[in-house]
């Protein structure tokens, strides 16, 4: 099978080498597509690779019926509609580490350029003006440098700023006093950063909560003469409010790499002499572009080939070590989900997944998603996957519970799926036997030992002499060979089940006749 990959923003040729070297991919590079052209062609592709230029909208994800993965060669995913990607089962991966250095270095370059008016002086001298008076700067040493958002880039900026002998203070919801102390910086609240800093730099993602985080009210709290840097995302700073603050001499200067609208159409803010700007160049270094393209290429290939993503954005990522330990249970979890979906005839209101034995030591959330996927696929089809399974369950009003229990009933590991409907509940349990593969070991109250593969028939019947024989005889009449059979009963003469594995799918007319066999209450076929 060949996977078609579209690269719609310029990516490092060195960086996409892993993609070019992959055997089963065909790569198209089209970096000048209009939004309409992208919509027209996206249904031909299994993967889309972008930087920050391409807008991966709801419509793109809707039309991209083959899309399995969107790779963002960089950090910010604000150009990708994550909710729509999740809804359509498209995994979004990014490359969070590859451009950290470059973005931090660019921030420091902007800080120094701002403090010393380098771009303005450079422009003057290029115009043959020898002007030394207009470009008197300020020293960094001893000034207070406020960082808002101390993640990967914010932290790197902090280390570099300390080298400039700035007093670094920072606010981040995840920053503690102890952590700040360890980094040799000062922990502060947002208001403290706004009130105390001579230079303020923002390094948060653009989220609902960070949109216009630096607004008119925030500027009002700042020192007069403060200088502002934004190398994170346009929109974290309210550009209108920044314009006013500069014109009113509250803000002495601003260094901007990112803008509310990119490319910029309204140059009002940029034209102010106090503003220096670059066109979103924070990650534009040979090294960063190579790093991010390599990282994202590896993830895209892995996902297309059914592997696990290292940097998924719309799925929680797990350490490789943990992933390796739970991977053997993937098959079992999906099959149990599929099994219970086939054996439940009413609307499912609640699914509980119980993990016991060895499984209690693991982060089992991927197994829960996989079980729900197996369960929903029966009615929603193959477009349900690990990314959107929980989303669809929520949409269908199905509550999902995940529980770890101590009772493993003598098994080293036991996974039990229980579904509740309006009128009752049913359960199935399975285990992974060392060296022997997976087994279904319990259906409701009945112990069984069934390999969950192929064509299964679950028969509920009365425990009476002849019931098993009648089923066998009827199947033989229609040339259906029984490969394995397991029986279980509550008590002598009470309710019982038969679990058969047969060599081929059974036709509807045969099923109908089976249901009419004396002492058979119910029966269902399950293809696993």
Ligand X SMILES: O=C(O)CCC(=O)C(=O)O
Ligand Y SMILES: NC(=O)C1=CN([C@@H]2O[C@H](COP(=O)(O)OP(=O)(O)OC[C@H]3O[C@@H](n4cnc5c(N)ncnc54)[C@H](O)[C@@H]3O)[C@@H](O)[C@H]2O)C=CC1
Position 172 contacts ligand Y (CB under 6 A): yes
Task: Considering the complex, state which of residue 89 and residue 282 has its C-beta at the smaller distance from ligand Y.
Answer: 282
Give me the helices (H) in 117-208, please.
118-126, 152-163, 177-183, 190-196
Closest CB 261 distance from ligand X, rounded Å: 15
Task: Considering the complex, state which of residue 12 and residue 338 has its C-beta at the smaller distance from ligand X.
Answer: 12
The site string for ligand Y over 276-295 (x = CB under 6 A, - otherwise) reads: ----x-xx------------
Judged by beta carbon distances under 5 to 8 A according to partner kind, the member of ligand X, ligand Y, none in contact with residue 366 is none
Closest CB 233 distance from ligand X, rounded Å: 7
Quote the CA–CA distance of 259 and 269 in Å, as a whole number.
10
Catalytic, 427? Answer no
Position 51 contacts ligand X (CB under 6 A): yes
Judged by beta carbon distances under 5 to 8 A according to partner kind, the member of ligand Y, ligand X, none in contact with residue 15 is none
Query: Number of residues in contact with ligand X, rule: CB under 6 A?
Result: 10
- 313 and 82 Cβ atoms separated by less than 8 Å: yes
Please give the span between the terminal C-alpha atoms of the chain, in angstroms, as a whole number.
23
Quote the CA–CA distance of 197 and 178 in Å, as a whole number.
21
Position 52 contacts ligand X (CB under 6 A): yes
Q: Which residue out of 192, 262, 349, 402 is catalytically annotated?
A: 262
Closest CB 261 distance from ligand Y, rounded Å: 15
Closest CB 253 distance from ligand X, rounded Å: 22
Position 148 contacts ligand Y (CB under 6 A): yes
The site string for ligand X over 230-269 (x = CB under 6 A, - otherwise) reads: ----------------------------------------
Closest CB 94 distance from ligand X, rounded Å: 8
- 213 and 148 Cβ atoms separated by less than 8 Å: yes
Judged by beta carbon distances under 5 to 8 A according to partner kind, the member of ligand Y, ligand X, none in contact with residue 96 is ligand Y
Q: Between residue 63 and residue 92, which ones bind ligand X under the rule CB under 6 A? A: 74-76
Backbone angles phi, psi at 245, to 5 degrees: -65, -35
Quote the CA–CA distance of 240 and 257 in Å, as a whole number.
16
The site string for ligand Y over 201-240 (x = CB under 6 A, - otherwise) reads: --xxxx--xx--x-----------------xxx-------
Task: Considering the complex, state which of residue 15 and residue 282 has its C-beta at the smaller distance from ligand X.
Answer: 282
- 405 and 411 Cβ atoms separated by less than 8 Å: no
Listing from the earlier edge strand, what are the strands of the sheet with 455-462? Answer: 482-489, 495-502, 455-462, 520-527
Quote the CA–CA distance of 450 and 526 in Å, as a whole number.
13
Task: Considering the complex, state which of residue 280 and residue 335 has its C-beta at the smaller distance from ligand X.
Answer: 280
User: Segment contacting ligand Y (CB under 6 A): 10-18, 146-154, 327-335, 394-402?
Assistant: 146-154
User: Segment contacting ligand Y (CB under 6 A): 15-23, 93-101, 393-401, 496-504?
Assistant: 93-101
- DSSP for 294-345, please give it: HHHHHHHHHHHTT---SSBSSS----HHHHHHHGGGHHHHHHHHHHHHHH--
Quote the CA–CA distance of 507 and 519 in Å, as a whole number.
21
Catalytic, 378? Answer no
278, burial (CB in 10 Å: exposed 0-12, middle 13-18, buried 19+): middle
- Report the run of H or E that residue 287 belongs to, with start and end: helix 286-304
Quote the CA–CA distance of 8 and 41 in Å, as a whole number.
11
Quote the CA–CA distance of 297 and 317 in Å, as a whole number.
17
Tokens of 414: 């036991």
User: Strands (DSSP E) along 134-283, which ranges?
Assistant: 144-148, 167-171, 186-187, 199-202, 226-230, 251-256, 275-277
Judged by beta carbon distances under 5 to 8 A according to partner kind, the member of ligand Y, ligand X, none in contact with residue 89 is none
Judged by beta carbon distances under 5 to 8 A according to partner kind, the member of ligand Y, ligand X, none in contact with residue 51 is ligand X
Question: 252-266 burial, b for 16+ CB within 10 Å, e for fewer?
Answer: bbbbbbbbbeeebee
Task: Considering the complex, state which of residue 255 and residue 498 has its C-beta at the smaller distance from ligand Y.
Answer: 255
Q: Which residue out of 51, 88, 280, 298 is catalytically annotated?
A: 280
Instruction: Return residues touching ligand Y (CB under 6 A).
Output: 74-76, 96, 99-100, 103, 148-154, 171-174, 203-206, 209-210, 213, 231-233, 257-258, 280, 282-283
Binding interface with ligand X (CB under 6 A):
51-52, 74-76, 99, 280, 282-284
Which residues are tagged catalytic?
233, 262, 280
């Amino acid at each position: 099978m060949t996977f078609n990959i579209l690269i719609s923003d310029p990516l490092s040729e060195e960086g996409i080498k892993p993609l070019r070297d992959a055997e089963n991919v065909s790569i198209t590079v089209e970096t000048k597509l209009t939004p309409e052209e992208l919509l027209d062609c996206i249904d031909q592709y299994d993967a889309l690779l972008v930087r920050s230029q391409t807008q991966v909208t709801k419509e793109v994800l809707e039309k991209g019926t083959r899309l399995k993965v969107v790779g963002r060669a960089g950090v910010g995913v604000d150009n990708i509609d994550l909710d729509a990607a999740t809804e359509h089962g498209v995994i979004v991966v990014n490359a969070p580490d590859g451009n950290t250095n470059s973005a931090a270095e660019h921030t420091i370059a902007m800080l120094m350029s701002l403090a010393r008016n380098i771009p303005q002086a450079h422009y003057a001298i290029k115009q043959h003006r020898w002007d030394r008076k207009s470009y008197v700067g300020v020293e960094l040493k001893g000034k207070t440098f406020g960082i808002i958002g101390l993640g990967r880039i914010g932290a790197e900026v902090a280390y570099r700023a300390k080298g400039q002998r700035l007093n670094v203070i920072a606010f981040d919801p995840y920053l503690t006093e102890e952590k700040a102390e360890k980094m040799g910086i000062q922990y502060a609240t947002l208001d403290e950063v706004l009130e105390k800093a001579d230079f303020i730099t923002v390094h948060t993602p653009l989220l609902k909560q960070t949109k216009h985080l630096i607004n008119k009210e925030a500027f009002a709290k700042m020192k007069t003469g403060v200088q502002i840097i934004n190398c994170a995302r346009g929109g974290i700073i309210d550009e209108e409010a920044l314009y006013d603050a500069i014109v009113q001499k509250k803000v002495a200067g601003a260094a901007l790499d990112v803008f509310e609208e990119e490319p910029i159409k309204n140059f009002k803010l940029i034209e102010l002499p106090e503003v220096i700007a670059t066109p979103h160049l924070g990650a534009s270094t040979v090294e960063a572009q190579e790093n991010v393209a390599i990282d994202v290429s590896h993830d895209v290939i892995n996902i297309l080939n059914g592997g696990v993503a290292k940097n998924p954005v719309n799925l929680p990522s797990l350490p490789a070590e943990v992933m390796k330990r739970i991977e053997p249970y993937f098959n079992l979890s999906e099959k149990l989900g599929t099994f219970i979906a086939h054996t439940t005839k009413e609307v499912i209101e609640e699914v509980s997944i119980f993990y016991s034995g060895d499984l209690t030591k693991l982060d089992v959330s991927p197994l829960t998603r996989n079980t729900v996927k197996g369960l929903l696929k029966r009615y929603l089809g193959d477009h349900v996957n690990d990314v959107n399974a929980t989303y669809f369950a929520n949409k269908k009003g199905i509550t999902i519970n995940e529980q770890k229990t101590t009772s493993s009933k003598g098994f080293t590991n036991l996974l039990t799926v229980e579904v509740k409907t309006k009128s009752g509940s049913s359960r199935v349990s399975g285990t992974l036997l060392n060296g022997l593969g997976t087994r279904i070991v319990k259906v409701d109250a009945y112990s069984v030992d069934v390999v969950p593969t192929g064509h299964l028939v679950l028969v509920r019947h009365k425990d009476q002499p002849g019931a098993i024989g009648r089923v066998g005889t009827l199947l033989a009449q229609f040339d259906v060979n029984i490969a394995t059979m397991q029986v279980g009963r509550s008590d002598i003469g009470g309710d019982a089940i038969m679990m058969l594995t047969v060599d081929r799918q059974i036709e509807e007319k045969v099923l109908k006749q089976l249901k009419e066999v004396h002492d058979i209450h119910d029966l269902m076929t399950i293809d696993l």
